Amino acid sequence: MSNDQFAFIGTYTRLGSEGVYTLRLNGETGELTQISVATGLENPSFVALDPSGDHLYAVSETSAFDGSGGITAFNVNRSTGELTQINQQSTGGPGPCHLMVDSTDSMVIVTNYSGGSVSAHPIAADGAVGQRTSFVQHEGSSINERRQEKAHAHSVNIDKSNKYAYICDLGKDQVLTYAMDVESATISLSSTVDEVAGEGPRHFTFHPANQQVYVLNELGCTITLYDKGADGSLTPIETVPTLPADWDGENTTADIHTSPDGAFVYASNRGHDSIVIYSIDQSTGKMTFVGHESSQGKTPRNFAITPDGKFLVTENQDSDSIVSFKREDDGTLTPTGSIIKVPAPVCLQFLPVGD
C-alpha cells in the first residue's frame, strides 16, 4: 500500500499566491509534486482537515467579511486531492489565522489574530460550516508595546478527549483552556495559565501518548513544557530556547510539532531560518537539545511530519519554497533534495492518498 500523502498548502494571496494548493508527497522518496490549486479565496493562510479527510476548512485572513475574516468549507476528492468549495461564513473578528475541527466532526473553532477573539461554528452532515454559535472576545495586553498592545488569539488545539480546546494568546501572554460542548458546538472558558511576560505564546502541540504539552513562544523564542491535568489545566515544568546561545540576530518562532512516536519535538525559527530539534524524556516530557537544521530557505512558517514519521516538510514563506527532509533515527533531518516552488506558503496539512 502506498504511503503517498496529499499536502494541502495554505498561502497568502497578498504575496502572489493563487489560493490553496494541493501537492503530492512520494512516501518512499519524499519528492513533492504539484497537483492542483483552489482559487477564489483571499489569504487562505491556514487550513484544517476534518477527521474523515472528506472536508477541508480554510480561513481567509482578512477583514473583508463585513469587517471580519472568513472560513470556507471544501469537499476533498480523496483520489485526486482536488478541492470543491461548499460554503463560507464570517468568523466575527478580523484576521483569522488558525482553526481546528473536533474529533466528532461536529464543530470547528477559529482564532482571530487581529481581533483577539475566538469563534466556534457547527459543521453540517455535508461538511458545510454554519454561523458561529460561540464568540469570545479576549481582553488584555503585555509588555511588548508593538506586538502585545492588545489580545491576539493565535492558535487552537483540541485534546484527545475532545473536551478541551487550548488557545494561545500572544498579545496577553496566556494559554486559555476552553471546555467544549460538541452537541451545541459551543465553548466556555475553563482555566488560564500566564506565560512569562513578553514570551508571546503562539502555537501548541500535544505529546501523542503522555499528559504533556509543548507551547512555542514566538517573541521569547522558547518552548515551554506543561503537564496537563484531568480538568484541562496546565502546570509549567520547564522552558528551553529555540536559538543557539551565540545568535544575536532578529528571530521569531512559527510552528511546533512532536514526532508521531513522541520521541522528539521540532520548532521553526524565522530569522535563524532553522528547525530546532529536541529529544523528549518519555517519563517526564523534558527536553534535551539535539541540534538545528537549516530550513533551506527564508522564513520557515508551518511544517508537518508525515503520519509514519518518515519525512518532515517545511514551508519557507519568503523564498516561496517547500522542502522535504528525511527524519533519521536520532531525530536529525536530512534534506531529500526535493524543493518545490509555491508562492508565500504558510500552512501544510497531510492526508493519505485514497484508493
Mean predicted confidence (pLDDT) in 161-173: 98
Could you report the per-residue pLDDT of 254-270, keeping only the tens digit for each? 999 999 999 999 999 99
Residue 1 in this model has a pLDDT that exceeds 60: no
Give the CATH superfamily of 5-352: YVTN repeat-like/Quinoprotein amine dehydrogenase (2.130.10.10)
Length of the chain: 355
pLDDT tens column, 184-204: 999 999 999 999 999 999 999
Is beta strand 234-241 parallel, antiparallel or unpaired with respect to 252-258?
unpaired
What one-letter code names the amino acid at 226?
Y
Closest CA to 88 of 136, 42, 131: 131
Three-state secondary structure call for residue 42: coil
Q: Where are the alpha helices (DSSP H) in the chain?
A: none
Nearest to 227 by CA among 214, 239, 240, 211: 211
Instruction: Tell me the pLDDT band of 355, cut-offs 50, 70 and 90.
Output: low
CA 277/CA 248 separation, integer angstroms: 20
- Paired residues of 153 in beta bridges: 169
pLDDT digits (tens, 9 = 90+) for 208-255: 999 999 999 999 999 999 999 999 999 999 999 999 999 999 999 999
User: What pLDDT, in 10s, does the model give residues 78-118?
Assistant: 999 999 999 999 999 999 999 999 999 999 999 999 999 99
What would you report as the CA-atom Rg of the chain, rounded to the nearest whole angstrom?
Answer: 19
What pairing do the DSSP bridges indicate for beta strands 234-241 and 222-228?
antiparallel
Nearest to 293 by CA among 256, 331, 241, 320: 331
Say what the pTM is: 0.97
- Chain centre to alpha carbon of residue 167: 12
